A and B are shown apart, each in its own frame.
Chain A
Amino acid sequence: DGGITQSPKYLFRKEGQNVTLSCEQNLNHDAMYWYRQDPGQGLRLIYYSQIVNDFQKGDIAEGYSVSREKKESFPLTVTSAQKNPTAFYLCASSLEGGQVNYGYTFGSGTRLTVV
């Protein structure tokens, strides 16, 4: 079955550490997105990529980095510069970038906690 796989499901980070969240899709979608969700809040866009080897900052990109070396993979690194990283992170993909004509497919999320 096609879909998006996020791993790990739970992740614990020590102060000052960088951690990388994995996002893989086998839907042959061009566009991929990373969102952050805090308790009781909506989703906020961190980074997005419309094609391979290209990505753009979203609304809250500070303290995060991404890469898009392969169409199916869009990993997110939470760096030590992100002062409040505890949150639920969601990866999504859509058939094409540009004007949104299709719904997004979401992964099941990674819950990151700073210890």
Chain B
Amino acid sequence: SQQGEEDPQALSIQEGENATMNCSYKTSINNLQWYRQNSGRGLVHLILIRSNEREKHSGRLRVTLDTSKKSSSLLITASRAADTASYFCATDEYSGGGADGLTFGKGTHLIIQP
């Protein structure tokens, strides 16, 4: 099955700076989602963007989607120490109505330095 690939694998920035993570995928999708995972915990859903949307905002999060390039980016503005976590993109591959679960990438590990 297809898999999203996040880039970079790891990112370390100073508190207050903006953090940008990218995700690429391989086939047509219905939507793309971003999740956060704190160490040793479950994933938390952040935002869902549909294939007919180009940009979406939620608080300090901004997600873009370029279906022609099969890529998405997650921007976290004014980062805080509590944003330290791994971030995963997940895709729902278009299959004419059926769905067999989201496919996750390997994640970007974000560290916010105080």
Contacts and interface: CB of A to CB of B under 8 A. Distances in A.
Interface residues of A, number: 31
B42 A108 contact: yes
Interface string B65-90: 00000000000000000000000100
A103 B48 contact: yes
B99 A104 contact: no
Contacts of B30: 99-100
B109 to A, nearest CB: 8
Contact of A98 (B31, B99, B103): B99
Contacts of B48: 101-103
A93 to B, nearest CB: 11
Residues of B in contact with A, size category: 20 to 34
Nearest to A43: B104
A99 B92 contact: yes
Contacts of B98: 98
A40 B88 CA distance: 12
Interface of B: 1, 3, 30-31, 33, 35, 40-45, 48, 88, 92, 97-107
Given A48-B101, A58-B100, A103-B35, 15 more contacts: A33-B101, A33-B102, A40-B106, A43-B88, A43-B104, A45-B101, A90-B42, A92-B43, A100-B99, A103-B33, A104-B35, A106-B42, A106-B43, A106-B44, A111-B40
Interface of A: 4, 6, 33, 35, 40-45, 48, 56, 58-59, 88, 90, 92, 97-109, 111
23 contacts: A4-B42, A33-B102, A40-B106, A42-B88, A43-B88, A44-B104, A45-B100, A45-B101, A45-B103, A48-B100, A90-B42, A102-B48, A103-B48, A104-B33, A105-B45, A106-B42, A106-B43, A107-B42, A108-B41, A108-B42, A109-B40, A109-B41, A111-B40
